[in-house]
Amino acid sequence: MSRILIVEDEAKIARFVELELVHEGYEVEKAPDGRTGLDLALQGDYDLILLDVMLPGLNGIEVLRRLRQQKSTPVILLTARDAVMDKVSGLDAGADDYITKPFAIEELLARIRVAERHHEAGEAAPRGARIEIGPVVLDEDRHEVTVNGEPVYLTNHEFLLLQALMENKNIVMDRSRLIEKVCGYDYVGETNVIDVYVRYLRTKIDDHYGINLIRTVRGVGYVIRDDLK
């Protein structure tokens, strides 16, 4: 059973997330401030930490920075909407992912599963994996994509976009999150470049092989589902 530590000063949010996680079969502990959170994180043996950024005393970024001097426990930051600086410094300080408040519990659960998977893969083997969805295979080490065994030639941006969608399969990715994966999180510019890369990918993969790989979620972004329906 996975153990999760929630560091969150808003008791209602902490309680809500705790109930949902326990319901999903996780074992949960909570800390109401940064200092308690850091102590627990350093002493305890957690599989994942949900870490609020805006905390009394020691803030989340500082907790993360101190934790990373000793431990690599996966951390998902809980950030306020549009707190770009939090995201940037959080990722710099070694966060594995972030989620913006308010969030849907389904999205949080999906991100927890991705972080756990990454961490397990990272421990079991060197980074770089093969991701397979239907006839599409993406090889991270070789930077190669094949469909039905045939190589598909992609630009670097197209590859990174496809990788982001395949790694997060079944999770709807909004344009700003995809921009971070494809252009870096300090990118400033139009997020509709993502739509352009999606169009290129669809021409090269969906249209060429007659599959429905990348789906549009109107008003949100894009998703690749593993059933390819």
Instruction: Report the residue number whose CB is nearest to Ca ion.
Output: 54
Cα-Cα end-to-end distance for the chain: 33
> Minimum distance from CB of 199 to Ca ion (Å)?
40
Three-state DSSP at 25 gives coil
Distance between CA atoms of 181 and 176, rounded to whole angstroms? 9
- Site residues for Ca ion, 89-118, by CB under 5 A, read none
Please, which residue, 54 or 108, has the CB nearer to Ca ion?
54
Backbone angles phi, psi at 111, to 5 degrees: -70, -35
Please, which residue, 60 or 221, has the CB nearer to Ca ion?
60
Instruction: State which of residues 5, 9, 115, 138 lies at the interface with Ca ion (CB under 5 A).
Output: 9
Please, which residue, 83 or 129, has the CB nearer to Ca ion?
83
> Minimum distance from CB of 84 to Ca ion (Å)?
17
Backbone angles phi, psi at 145, to 5 degrees: -125, 135
- Site residues for Ca ion, 28-87, by CB under 5 A, read 52, 54
Q: Are 43 and 67 in contact (CB under 8 A)?
A: no
Backbone angles phi, psi at 109, to 5 degrees: -60, -40
Distance between CA atoms of 121 and 54, rounded to whole angstroms? 30
Burial 113-131, CB ≥16 within 10 A → b, else e: ebbbebbeeeeeeeeebeb
Please, which residue, 52 or 96, has the CB nearer to Ca ion?
52
Q: By rule CB under 5 A, what count of residues binds Ca ion?
A: 3
> Minimum distance from CB of 160 to Ca ion (Å)?
32
Please, which residue, 54 or 105, has the CB nearer to Ca ion?
54
Q: Are 65 and 90 in contact (CB under 8 A)?
A: no
Binding of Ca ion by 158 (CB under 5 A): no
Which residues of the shown chain bind Ca ion in the complex (CB under 5 A)? 9, 52, 54
